[in-house]
Amino acid sequence: MHATSTVDKASDPVTNSQQMPLSSDSRTFGRAFGDIKEGFSQRELWGHLGWQDIKQRYRRSVIGPFWITISQGVISLGLGLLYSQLWGLNTPTFLPYISTGFIVWTFISGCLTEGMETFITNEGLIKQIRAPLTVYALRTVWRQTLMFAHNLIVVVIIDVIFFSSLSHQYGLTDGTCGPGTPICHPGLGWYSLSAIPAFLLLAFNAWWITLLLGIISTRYRDIPQVIGSLIQLLFYMTPIVWPIDQLYGHGARSGMASWVVPIVHLNPFYHYVQILRAPLIGQAVNPWSWVVVGGITVVGWALALLAMRNYRARVSYWV
């Protein structure tokens, strides 16, 4: 009698559906949003991990993380002086341009390259503790933010040294601003505070980039190599070590403006760099750059949420 009731109970579809659900709710946007919300709320965890990464990198060093500032300052000074002489540019205005561009690019490329490896490098923690995937993404973004803060010291020092050249309207090519100047920049002013929301927007983008590329690269390990090669190419295609001002005016490169400038504006990295670099050195930001960055932010977060919805639970098996 007992055996018969057990068999009947096992064959009952209603009882089976109550004991063992036929479908899981893990692949839902609710779970994806929950992971992001819970991960962001654990600020103490990802903040501590990011800071420990910086301390571990410069362990037993006397100067510590300020080596980041020194190395960035040396690179900016050397290339700024070299290219200003090679291209006949005004050093007091070009040196802030190239140094700030380098620092912003370092933050963007760092979030890309390290973001792709974020889940792979955290393999041990992912398998040992139960924590939202967002924690590891924010760990990477926070580490890059700390490095950017150290590099920002270089921008402050350069702006102070060349404040007399940046505090009024100027041209990047010869330092003057007049009727013959192709592009006239307004100089440092109150609008330079727009660099704060610009950086917050960049960090917000770095968050979804780390989540999306981290998931893709964990599944397909060749992706980091491909994107790493493209980053090098995009660095030279983005106006960082060369100013777009050179394409205007009456110089030898003036004829290239008609086809090079549209290509530059199609490069999303240019807009990401420009919304933060321009206010830091007294340049005006084209509103189109904000539109492009805002549009990419919306589309990028939609793709990241889709990836989190479908593959969040599989990352622990892929690492």
pLDDT in 10s for each residue of the chain, 319 residues? 444 444 444 444 444 434 434 334 567 888 888 889 999 999 999 999 998 888 887 777 667 667 777 887 888 888 888 888 887 788 888 899 999 999 999 999 999 999 999 999 888 888 888 888 899 999 999 999 998 998 898 889 988 998 988 888 887 777 777 666 667 888 888 888 999 999 999 999 999 999 999 999 999 988 888 888 888 888 888 888 888 877 765 555 656 667 777 888 889 999 999 999 999 999 888 899 999 999 999 999 999 999 999 888 888 888 8
Domain count within the chain: 1
Using CA of residue 160, residue 164, residue 166, residue 167, what is the dihedral sign?
positive
Asked if 282 contacts 92 with a C-beta cutoff of 8 angstroms, the reply is no
Is 258 buried (19+), middle (13-18) or exposed (0-12) by CB count in 10 A?
Answer: exposed
Three-class SS of residue 187? Answer: coil
| Predicted pLDDT of residue 246 | 75
Domain that holds residue 133: 43-318
Asked if 133 contacts 312 with a C-beta cutoff of 8 angstroms, the reply is yes
* 202-234: burial string, b at 16+ Cβ within 10 Å, e else: bbebbbbbbbbbbbbbbeeeeebeebeeeeeeb
Q: Is residue 8 part of a domain?
A: no
Q: Is residue 36 part of a domain?
A: no
Q: Is residue 98 part of a domain?
A: yes
Classify residue 286 as left (phi > 0), alpha (psi -120 to 50) or beta: beta
* Beta bridge mates, 170: 185
Asked if 209 contacts 112 with a C-beta cutoff of 8 angstroms, the reply is yes
Q: Is residue 191 part of a domain?
A: yes
How far out from the chain centre does Cα 89 lie? 29
| Predicted pLDDT of residue 276 | 95
Count of positions (residues) in the chain: 319
Q: Is residue 54 part of a domain?
A: yes
Q: Is residue 66 part of a domain?
A: yes
* Beta bridge mates, 185: 170
Largest CA distance in the chain: 103
| Predicted pLDDT of residue 293 | 96
CA distances from 90 to 100, 166, 243 (A): 16, 12, 12
Q: Is residue 117 part of a domain?
A: yes
| Predicted pLDDT of residue 209 | 95
Q: Is residue 213 part of a domain?
A: yes
| Predicted pLDDT of residue 124 | 86
Rg (alpha carbons) of the chain, rounded to whole number: 25
In the chain, how many H helices and how many E strands?
Answer: 16, 0
